[in-house]
């Protein structure tokens, strides 16, 4: 595998899983006690902190979702080991529940309650700030250290002994989510990339020093357990920083495989020992520790592969018809729009991100630093939160005040559409975050901007937190003098109202006025946000690109495949209603996309065309629900499976979304937002496609 594509973080999960197996099988025990101690109680101790750190690295994206998925996985693993709990004769319902909540129901499952406790604790600590969070986590680690490797030094002090005795009534060890997990989760979040040579040398030196520390403590016999060392965080910082420097990309199979190895390896230990006893080869398979370790590791990986194969197979994104989303273009557009507007972009991702996939778009932009989102309705806002999207999510449309509990539960910001709506939200009994819409002349939603008494009353309503004020310019895309004058009139009215509120000591909060064409046509205005909708996706509503030359890049490419190719003779007909009749020898390709996928049914009759093998080919006949006919007579070699481009580039030629909209007499907003969710969705990144498959 080339360096450019090497997923170092995910790749290290495999040796980390092997080290966990080593901890529980002592591979060198029959060779050297001291050697086995160093291998399993020193070197192998980097495995679990690594898993905590890689969790912390990506925790900021979806903490709630991660916690829920981990809890579900832990519950399944706990049930998997119930038979062994019963067989060991140590099972009691109350004790099992205590272990489930605090220390793991089987010896290797302690990681799960530790991370489940550590994640919310770290989220709370981060609110204190980075340095205080590290100080608190470091202090907790030191306390845990006193109950682990350094226990013998402190156990003679009565007060300290009593403290740890109380801790051990709840936790079997201090390697748990209260003392161990927070520090490594934070280290994973903030660990910097290190120079590879510096990182490698630092790791070797710190591991050597930690080995000296561990052997010294072992020689003194002061350890109650040996999971925590003073130099372990330093060692992990060098190891993780070096892996970050090498990391390029991700590997889901490696992640999944290491997870299954971690979960099932104790069952494999039982299986190997049981098989050895049945076959009378205990001397070979059990007493020979190296062979025992190897047999358990091989069986664990074999079991992991089997579990991975049991997962339902998925449909590749490009199997039929699909959308390719260029993440680089998306981020470029945000930067270009922010530079033009002089304000932060609130990404409008309503209507499934204008057909681009709202969650995919939001996750891509969240990584790039976007923190504001606009949706049309409550369900769209909840979908973003479920996907782990943070920041301000503004619902631009009406929400029934009876749904105020959901607004509060998902931390959504609701638009106040009129005074009665505000009063109903206020009376709901739930704390509702809101932005007040001002009607400056569109007469769609909002309180009339001239009605200052109503606006004052809304700001003073209890239970309603007005955190922003905005309006919408209904003719900002216009080029005529009346349209431009009306836009100026709306703008002046909006700012007049905002200034009056400020004079009266009412803080309007976040102020935003411009949408896409406000950015493209109007001068930059000092606002909290600009709401970028269609422009965010690199296209224009019509043929007019606006007065301000913003260098936007189309984000979406729409493709399908050739299903079959047929040769028609002059006079042959094809499609519904005999709509196409061949006037010459014609090669027709059936393409796997239709009006149920969002292609306007009228498009073939309006001169619609596609790109096949880098050449234009006209649509013919009537568009079907799931297929279309394309004349590929002039394009040699077209065959089943060829890629057909309906929007986007193929070679040197391009079909833009604006072309489809113009042919159909509509705007690109309608064309793109009408694309069907059944279309596959792929994230194109750095020249490669990151497939978002649909499960069968």
pLDDT for position 666: 96
CA distances from 3 to 9, 121, 197 (A): 13, 36, 15
3-class SS letters over 178-239: CCCHHHHHHHHHHCCCCCHHHHHHHHHHHHHHHHHHHHHHHHHCCCCCCCCCCCHHHHHHHH
| For residues 161-181, average pLDDT | 90
In eight-state DSSP terms, residue 319 is G
pLDDT for position 4: 55
Residues in the chain: 696
pLDDT for position 91: 66
* Spatial distance between the Cα atoms of 200 and 320, rounded to a whole number of angstroms: 47
| For residues 680-696, average pLDDT | 52
| For residues 580-592, average pLDDT | 96
Residues 619, 613 contacting (CB under 8 angstroms): no
Q: At 307, phi and psi to the nearest 5?
A: -65, -35
Q: DSSP labels for 447-487?
A: EETT-HHHHHHHHT-TTEEEEEEE---TTTT--SHHHHHHH
SS3 state of residue 581: strand
- Determine which one of 87, 576, 616, 653 is catalytic: 576
* Spatial distance between the Cα atoms of 225 and 175, rounded to a whole number of angstroms: 9
For each of the domains in the chain, give its residue range(s) and CATH number, in order of start: 1-18+251-311 (no CATH), 42-249 (no CATH), 321-537 (3.20.20.10), 556-655 (2.40.37.10)
* Spatial distance between the Cα atoms of 681 and 692, rounded to a whole number of angstroms: 6
**412 compared with 64, residue with greater pLDDT:** 412
* Spatial distance between the Cα atoms of 347 and 529, rounded to a whole number of angstroms: 9
Q: How confident is the model over 135-150, as pLDDT tens digits?
A: 999 999 999 999 999 9
Residue in 630, 633, 662, 624 with CA at minimum distance from that of residue 646: 630
Confidence bin at 368 (pLDDT 50/70/90): very high
Q: How confident is the model over 240-266, as pLDDT tens digits?
A: 999 999 988 788 899 999 999 999 999
- Determine which one of 99, 151, 262, 350 is catalytic: 350
- Say if strands 321-326 and 680-685 run parallel, antiparallel, or are unpaired: parallel
Helix 63-80, helix 47-59: angle, nearest 10: 140
* Spatial distance between the Cα atoms of 247 and 4, rounded to a whole number of angstroms: 8
SS3 content of the chain, % helix, strand, coil (to 5): 50, 15, 30
Give the up-direction half-sphere exposure of residue 245: CA atoms within 13 A in the CB hemisphere: 15
Residues 646, 560 contacting (CB under 8 angstroms): yes
pLDDT of 622 higher than 60: yes
Residue in 378, 408, 405 with CA at minimum distance from that of residue 394: 378
CA distances from 465 to 219, 409, 413, 418, 436 (A): 63, 15, 9, 15, 10
pLDDT of 383 higher than 50: yes
111 is catalytic: no
Region of residue 571 (phi > 0: left; psi between -120 and 50: alpha; otherwise: beta): left
Q: How confident is the model over 78-131, as pLDDT tens digits?
A: 999 999 888 776 667 888 888 898 888 898 999 999 999 999 999 899 889 999
Binding site: residue ranges?
444, 625
pTM of the predicted model as reported, rounded to 2 decimal places: 0.72
Residues 648, 324 contacting (CB under 8 angstroms): yes
Residues 202, 135 contacting (CB under 8 angstroms): no
CA torsion angle 515 520 525 530 (round to 10):
30
Both structure tokens of 86: 């019963």
pLDDT of 3 higher than 60: no
Instruction: Share the mean pLDDT of the chain.
Output: 92
pLDDT of 688 higher than 60: no
| For residues 61-79, average pLDDT | 85
Both structure tokens of 245: 């420097």
SS3 state of residue 164: helix
Q: Considering all CA atoms of the chain, what is the largest pairwise distance in Å, rounded to the nearest integer?
A: 102
* Spatial distance between the Cα atoms of 250 and 239, rounded to a whole number of angstroms: 18
In eight-state DSSP terms, residue 651 is T
Q: How confident is the model over 534-543, as pLDDT tens digits?
A: 999 999 998 7
Residues 478, 487 contacting (CB under 8 angstroms): yes
| For residues 360-378, average pLDDT | 95
Neighbours of 10 (CB within 10 A): 21
Q: How confident is the model over 202-218, as pLDDT tens digits?
A: 999 999 999 999 999 99
Q: How confident is the model over 632-650, as pLDDT tens digits?
A: 999 999 999 999 999 999 9
Q: How confident is the model over 441-497, as pLDDT tens digits?
A: 999 999 999 999 999 999 999 989 999 999 999 999 998 999 999 999 999 999 999
Residues 498, 509 contacting (CB under 8 angstroms): no
Task: Name beta bridge partners: 619.
Answer: 630
pLDDT of 432 higher than 90: yes
Task: Name beta bridge partners: 684.
Answer: 326, 689
Neighbours of 497 (CB within 10 A): 23
pLDDT of 312 higher than 90: no
Residues 392, 411 contacting (CB under 8 angstroms): no
CA distances from 189 to 123, 182, 262, 353, 455 (A): 11, 11, 23, 29, 44
- Say if strands 464-470 and 432-439 run parallel, antiparallel, or are unpaired: parallel
pLDDT for position 90: 62
pLDDT for position 536: 97
* Spatial distance between the Cα atoms of 396 and 413, rounded to a whole number of angstroms: 9
Binding site for substrate: residue ranges?
444, 625
277 is catalytic: no
pLDDT for position 142: 96
Q: How confident is the model over 390-405, as pLDDT tens digits?
A: 999 999 999 999 999 9
């Amino acid at each position: 595998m080339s360096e450019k594509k090497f997923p170092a973080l995910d790749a290290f999960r495999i040796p980390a899983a092997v080290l966990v197996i080593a901890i529980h099988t002592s591979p060198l025990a029959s060779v050297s006690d001291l050697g086995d101690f160093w291998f399993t109680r020193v070197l192998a101790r980097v495995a679990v902190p690594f898993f905590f750190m890689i969790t912390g690295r990506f925790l900021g994206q979806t903490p709630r979702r991660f916690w829920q998925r981990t809890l579900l996985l832990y519950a399944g693993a706990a049930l998997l080991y119930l038979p062994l709990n019963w067989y060991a004769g140590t099972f009691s319902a109350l004790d099992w529940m205590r272990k489930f909540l605090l220390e793991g129901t089987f010896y290797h499952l302690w990681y799960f309650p530790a991370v489940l406790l550590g994640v919310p604790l770290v989220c709370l600590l981060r609110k204190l700030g980075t340095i205080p969070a590290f100080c608190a986590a470091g202090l907790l680690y030191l306390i845990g250290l006193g109950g682990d490797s350094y226990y013998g030094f402190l156990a003679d002090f009565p007060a300290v002994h009593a403290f740890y005795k109380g801790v051990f009534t709840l936790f079997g060890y201090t390697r748990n989510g209260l003392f161990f997990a927070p520090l490594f989760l934070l280290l994973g979040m903030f660990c910097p990339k290190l120079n590879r040579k510096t990182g490698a040398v630092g790791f070797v030196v710190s591991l050597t020093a930690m080995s000296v520390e561990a052997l010294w403590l072992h020689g003194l016999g002061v350890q109650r357990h040996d999971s925590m060392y003073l130099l372990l965080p330093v060692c992990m910082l060098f190891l993780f920083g070096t892996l970050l420097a090498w990391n390029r990309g991700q590997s889901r199979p490696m992640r999944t495989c290491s997870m299954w190895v971690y979960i099932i390896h104790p069952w494999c230990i039982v299986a190997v020992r049981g098989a050895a006893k049945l076959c009378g080869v205990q001397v070979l398979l059990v007493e020979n520790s190296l062979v025992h370790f190897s047999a358990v590791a091989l069986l664990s990986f074999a079991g992991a592969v089997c579990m991975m194969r049991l997962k339902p197979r998925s449909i590749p994104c490009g199997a039929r018809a699909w959308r390719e989303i260029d993440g680089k273009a998306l981020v470029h557009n945000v930067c270009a729009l922010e530079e033009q507007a002089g304000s932060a972009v609130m990404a409008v991702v309503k209507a499934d991100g204008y057909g681009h996939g709202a969650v995919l778009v939001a996750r891509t932009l969240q990584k790039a630093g976007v923190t504001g989102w606009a949706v049309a309705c409550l369900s769209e806002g909840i979908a973003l939160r479920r996907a782990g999207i943070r920041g301000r999510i503004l619902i631009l449309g009406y929400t029934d005040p009876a749904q105020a509990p959901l607004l509060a539960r998902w931390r959504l910001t609701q638009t106040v559409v009129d005074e009665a709506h505000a009063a109903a939200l206020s009376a709901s009994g739930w704390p509702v975050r809101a932005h007040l819409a001002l009607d400056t002349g569109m007469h769609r939603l909002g309180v009339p901007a001239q009605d200052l008494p109503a606006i004052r009353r809304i700001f003073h309503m209890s239970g309603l937190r007005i955190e922003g004020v905005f309006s919408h310019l209904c003719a900002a895309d216009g080029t005529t003098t009346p349209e431009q004058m009306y836009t100026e009139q709306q703008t002046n009215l909006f700012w007049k109202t905002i200034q009056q509120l400020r004079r009266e000591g009412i803080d309007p909060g976040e102020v935003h006025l411009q949408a896409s064409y406000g950015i493209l046509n109007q001068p930059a205005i000092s606002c909290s946000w600009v709401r970028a909708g269609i422009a965010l996706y690199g296209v224009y509503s019509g043929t007019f690109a606006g007065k301000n030359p913003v260098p936007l890049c189309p984000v979406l490419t729409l493709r399908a495949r050739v299903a079959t190719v047929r040769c028609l003779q002059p006079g042959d007909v094809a499609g519904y209603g005999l709509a196409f009749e061949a006037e010459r020898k014609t090669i027709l390709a059936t393409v796997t996309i239709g009006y149920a996928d969002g292609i306007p049914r009228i498009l073939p009759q309006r001169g619609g065309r596609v790109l096949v093998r880098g050449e234009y080919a006209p649509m013919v006949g009537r568009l079907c629900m799931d297929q279309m006919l394309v004349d590929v007579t002039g394009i040699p070699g077209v065959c089943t499976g060829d890629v057909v481009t309906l929007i986007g580039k193929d070679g040197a030629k391009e079909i833009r979304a604006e072309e489809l909209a113009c042919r159909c007499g509509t705007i690109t907003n309608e064309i793109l937002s009408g694309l069907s969710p059944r279309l596959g969705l792929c994230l194109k990144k750095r020249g490669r496609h990151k497939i978002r498959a649909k499960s069968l």
